[in-house]
Amino acid sequence: MERVFNFSAGPSQLPLEVLEQAQQDLLCYPGAGCSVMEMSHRSGSFEEIIHNTEATLRRLMDIPEDYAVLFMQGGASLQFSAVAMNLAKQGQTTNYAITGQFAGKALEEGKRWTNAKAITSSKADTFSYIPKITPALIDPDAAYLHITGNNTIFGTCYNTLPDTGDVPLVADWSSAILGKQIDVKRHGIIYAGVQKNMGPAGMAVVIIRKDLLKREVDPIVPAMMRYKLMADNGSMYNTPPCFTIYMTGLVGQWVEKQGGIAAMEQRNAEKAGILYDTIEQSQLFHNPVAKEDRSIMNETFTLPTEEETKAFLKMAEGRGMINLKGHRSVGGCRASIYNGMPKEGIEALAQCMKDFENGLRK
């Protein structure tokens, strides 16, 4: 079977060049005599891999030396709890902006440990926009303000970061990291599950300002969730997700070869523009998101009826385009067009939409 255009929100399509390099190294990593999946995490070969992966991310994202880079198991969802437990004392006030399902999940986990407050929400409007956050909304004594930078399900994005003053900004950038320029210095913590734009599932990258590592952590917090412990041990307090770290490094190197994140963002914006233009020119397809808050990573669109939606999805799959079905909580369609999705995939999708609307439904 030939490879298709995979529009999955995650695990997502990886660059073909990265997969081919991994295939080449799979049985025997150069100089190691074994696969990355077999080598000791204490070996010289893996120490080189994890060091190079961190160094690549630091170059790409311009991460200052006063920030630590951690590779943590459990994905982004575990960080919903880890952020609260590392940055706040039990019962301390924390602030959350609710812009989608994952922002809501982060809030609920925050409530388990802190006095977590939703200071703004776009839920009443089906999360179709990013609500503005003014300094007046933020509790000056809050341990942090948490946002979800790019909302995978609803196709919105913080294209302008809020001014949080002295309150650390914590952001889940899972579905935009490496595909959009992010000013690390504006954040206290950036975390991201890697399965959307950085590699295969199973790990989160945490970028944390080092002064936040000095905050007192309750003895009850599990060792595997302690940022300082992970930083002190070079992300190797236990056996790390070796193969995922290796793949993340390969993706980072590939992004560098493409010209870096600025070049990727320009390319992703061009891809997104093709699809948004197709939707705007259509009488059949509709995008509900406020234009200024549109994501260039995840584009949602609907058709008038469920029957037409099913027919379109079937037609697209027949043309080699999979995972375009919208999230089960909202329905419709969704195209996730991360770095690994080539322009040809977007052009094929746009043509499929035009043909469907014009009655050519095969």
- The whole-number pLDDT of residue 331 equals 86
Helix (H) or strand (E) holding 252: helix 242-257
Amino acid at the residue 92: Q
- The whole-number pLDDT of residue 2 equals 86
- The whole-number pLDDT of residue 167 equals 98
- Banded model confidence at residue 330, pLDDT cuts 50, 70, 90: confident
The SS3 call for residue 92 is coil
How many helices (H) and strands (E) in the chain?
Answer: 9, 13
Measured distance CA(188)–CA(172) in Å, rounded: 11
- The whole-number pLDDT of residue 1 equals 61
> What is the total residue count of the chain?
362
- Banded model confidence at residue 360, pLDDT cuts 50, 70, 90: confident
Q: Look-up: residue for tokens 């650390």? A: 168
Q: Compute the average pLDDT of residues 2-26.
A: 94
| Integer CA distances (angstroms), 79 to 82, 127, 191, 192, 324, in order | 5, 22, 7, 9, 27
- Banded model confidence at residue 307, pLDDT cuts 50, 70, 90: very high
Average pLDDT in the chain: 96
Measured distance CA(195)–CA(65) in Å, rounded: 26
Q: What percent of the chain has pLDDT over 90?
A: 95
- Answer yes or no: is pLDDT of 344 > 70: yes
Measured distance CA(278)–CA(333) in Å, rounded: 14
Cross-strand partners of 172: 148, 191
The CATH label, of 3.40.50.970, 3.40.640.10, 3.40.50.720, 3.90.1150.10, for the domain at 261-357 is 3.90.1150.10
Q: Look-up: residue for tokens 């992010």? A: 182
> What pLDDT, in 10s, does the model give residues 84-101?
999 999 999 999 999 999
- The whole-number pLDDT of residue 359 equals 86
Measured distance CA(264)–CA(315) in Å, rounded: 29
| DSSP state at residue 241 | -
Measured distance CA(332)–CA(326) in Å, rounded: 5
The CATH label, of 3.40.470.10, 3.20.20.450, 3.40.50.720, 3.40.640.10, for the domain at 16-257 is 3.40.640.10
- The whole-number pLDDT of residue 361 equals 75
- The whole-number pLDDT of residue 200 equals 94
Helix (H) or strand (E) holding 163: none
| Integer CA distances (angstroms), 263 to 91, 169, 339, in order | 43, 26, 11
- The whole-number pLDDT of residue 325 equals 96
- The whole-number pLDDT of residue 290 equals 96
> What pLDDT, in 10s, does the model give residues 119-140?
999 999 999 999 999 999 999 9
- Answer yes or no: is pLDDT of 236 > 80: yes
Q: In this structure, how many other beta carbons lie within 10 angstroms of the beta carbon of residue 108? A: 11
- The whole-number pLDDT of residue 235 equals 96
> What pLDDT, in 10s, does the model give residues 248-299?
999 999 999 999 999 999 999 999 999 999 999 999 999 999 999 999 999 9
Question: Do residues 152 and 196 touch, judged by C-beta distance below 8 A?
Answer: yes
Pairing state of beta strands 145-148 and 150-151?
unpaired
Which residues, at least 6 apart from 188, have a Cβ–Cβ distance to it below 8 Å? 87, 144, 168, 169, 170, 208, 209, 212
Q: Compute the average pLDDT of residues 146-162.
A: 97
> What pLDDT, in 10s, does the model give residues 39-64?
989 999 999 999 999 999 999 999 99
Q: Compute the average pLDDT of residues 352-360.
A: 93
Amino acid at the residue 211: D
Where do the domains of the chain lie?
16-257, 261-357
- Banded model confidence at residue 102, pLDDT cuts 50, 70, 90: very high
